[in-house]
Amino acid sequence: MTVGIVMLVHEAFDRAEQVARHWATHDCPVVIHVDKRVKRGAYSSFASNLSDLDNVKFCGRHKCEWGTWSLVAASQTASEMMLKSFTEVCHVFLASGSCLPLRPVEEMVEYLGDRPMTNFIESVTTEDVPWTVGGLDAERFTLRFPFSWKRNRRLFDAYVRTQRRLKFKRRVPPGIVPHLGSQWWCLTRQTLSAILEDPEREAYDRYFKKVWIPDESYYQTLVRLYSTNIESRSLTLSKFDFQGKPHIFYDDHLQLLRRSDCFVARKIWPHANKLYDGFLSNAAKLMTGAEPNPGKIDRIFSKAVERRTKGRPGLYMQSRFPNEGWENGQTCAQYSVFEGFSELFEDFDQWLNRMVGARVHGHLFAPERVNFANGQPVFSGALTDSPDVRDYNPRAFLTSLIWNTRGERQCFQFGPRDTQDLNWFFAKDPNAQISVISGAWAVPLFHSNKNFSDIRREAARLQKIEAVHLEVLRSFYSKARVRIWTMAEFVDNPMEPLQTIIDEIGARSPNRLAEAPKMVSLDGFGQFLQNLKNQGMQPHLMGDFPAGSDPVNNPRKPRKPYLVK
């Protein structure tokens, strides 16, 4: 009772020889199929190097090409030879030249000896396969594939499209239900010989010759006809990337492979000396008796696939530069934009800093300079405060800032005086929390000591800019969490909106706000607006401010600096 190894080899003959020798010297007969496209010299030296072992045989050669019947034909020829020449073989294990046994051969023989009737072959119906690449799963069995996918990709694709359009369907032979699975299997003599000696084999072969990637479906389908004792998993640890190519193992995977407790792994990089030396030496033979557990390796490789297909959200760099709409997150974390708050409150930055555990910047997009928190000239990631650099690529500036400060929420002020290039970017970013007190830009003008005609001109300009900005924020495409209050609304009842915003950011203490920021004096602001109106400008973004002389209509005491609610 032993295990026979069928090996398909087409390159890295030194490694294939090393592995074949390893199997053979541990009493596992080996039948090797060498691709016919291999040059005669390489083949004969490979064969002669192994000629000292009488339980290593070479079978007839087929010209092999990925995705075609030739690979099945190769395994059939080799399996037939195996069953005929080595009668003591009970299980046949299909391996490639770049497979490497990870556990002592004796242990594998013992494992299979304990399960003499079990076929280890991944075999899943087409409906349940999540991993097929390129959308061809059930269609593998119902279309024809006369063109090479590797060499004539366009013809291949065009022919598939045509067949789909014509609703062409091949008939699946009666009695078989298409199954798919890893092409690396381990079958019992009984099952394998039943497949190979079936009187219907010719019909099946004829059908599968035109199936796409038959080495992933031929045995996987037919095994269901002859055996009910199927463990639908492969004994070979083999991971595939998003394009269906196998992941390769290197020296630095040594510990990972050790811990996986799998019997055989593929594909191993031929120059991974440490792996070959480590796993093929007789010194490190530990019989663990453990069940194969490829979980950890699975995680690493599925992470790699995710990195390649989804990437890190909010990252723009040399090898990830998504087209618009494909960012999978325009920025990498949530941030807050405050508009009009620092104009309306004297010490808003400091106050906000006390209330929330976040970094509070000034006007990052101010025309004079980038106002980083605490007036720093350079900020995280070595972003400079130069407005030229920022305005040269504002999107890069913002996304870098948010990326560089992962783990710390960023808050900054914004207003109509600032660079407006990112209007749409903000609006479309679900990570942005935008709170606007519309019209508050008028407060600094109100307090300024400029000529009124200049103030009027500036007010008109800022109002126009903010109107456009608000339109963008309110647009149908906006995905940001936008809150807009007119200044009049806000001044009327500032605590509630502030509480909402702070709650959303995540306050330092879960209690209600005990302290309000100090509002600037607005005495005479109504009159100021009225003056603007009198000059022919219509300040409409502030809302309905009690116009005219407020001392008469609304005798107000000076605000207390702090309001306790």
Binding footprint of another protein on the chain (CB under 8 A):
241-243, 245, 247-248, 250-252, 269, 271, 300-301, 303-305, 307-312, 315-323, 326-328, 376, 378-384, 386, 388-389, 392-393, 396-397, 400, 403-404
Residue showing tokens 């879960």:
510
Give me the least distance between CB of 390 and another protein, in Å please: 9
Q: Which is nearer to another protein, 97 or 311 (CB)?
A: 311
CA separation, residue 84 to residues 87, 103, 241 (Å): 6, 28, 37
**Which residue lies nearer to another protein by CB, 299 or 447?**
299
Quote the Cα angle for 442-448-453, to 5°.
Answer: 75
Q: Decide whether 231 or 251 has the Cβ nearer to another protein.
A: 251
Using CB atoms within 10 Å of the CB of residue 327, give its burial: 0 to 12 exposed, 13 to 18 middle, 19+ buried.
buried
Quote the strand ranges of 78-227, DSSP E.
Answer: 89-96, 100-101, 119-120, 124-125, 179-180, 186-188
Task: Give 11 or 27: the residue with its C-beta nearer to another protein.
Answer: 11
Q: How near is the Cβ of 241 to another protein at its closest, in Å?
A: 5
Nearer Cβ to another protein, position 272 or 519? Answer: 272
Our CB check for another protein shows the closer of 72 and 332 to be: 332
**Of 375 and 551, CB closest to another protein:** 375
**Number of Cα atoms under 13 Å in the Cβ half of residue 239:** 20
Q: Which of 364, 469, 462 is nearest to 427 (CA)?
A: 469
Residue 263 or 379 having the CB closest to another protein:
379
CB contact at 8 A, 487 and 437:
yes
As a whole number of angstroms, the distance between CA 215 and CA 6 comes to 14
Q: How far is the CB of 257 from another protein (least distance, A)?
A: 13
**Is the Cβ of residue 250 or residue 562 nearer to another protein in the bound state?**
250
Min dist CB 417 to another protein, Å, is: 21
Rounded least distance, CB 304 to another protein, Å:
4
| Min separation Cβ 308 and another protein, Å | 3
Exposed, middle or buried: residue 193 (CB in 10 Å: 0-12, 13-18, 19+)? middle
Rounded to a whole number of angstroms, the minimum distance from the CB of residue 302 to another protein is: 9
Tell the smallest beta-carbon distance from residue 323 to another protein (Å).
5
List, in order, residues 6 or more apart from 311 with CB less than 8 Å away: 320, 322, 328
Tell me how far apart the alpha carbons of residues 94 and 78 are, in angstroms, rounded to a whole number. Answer: 10
459's tokens: 């007010």
| Consecutive H or E run containing 21 | helix 13-25
Q: How far is the CB of 564 from another protein (least distance, A)?
A: 39
Nearest to 217 by CA among 360, 75, 101, 326: 75
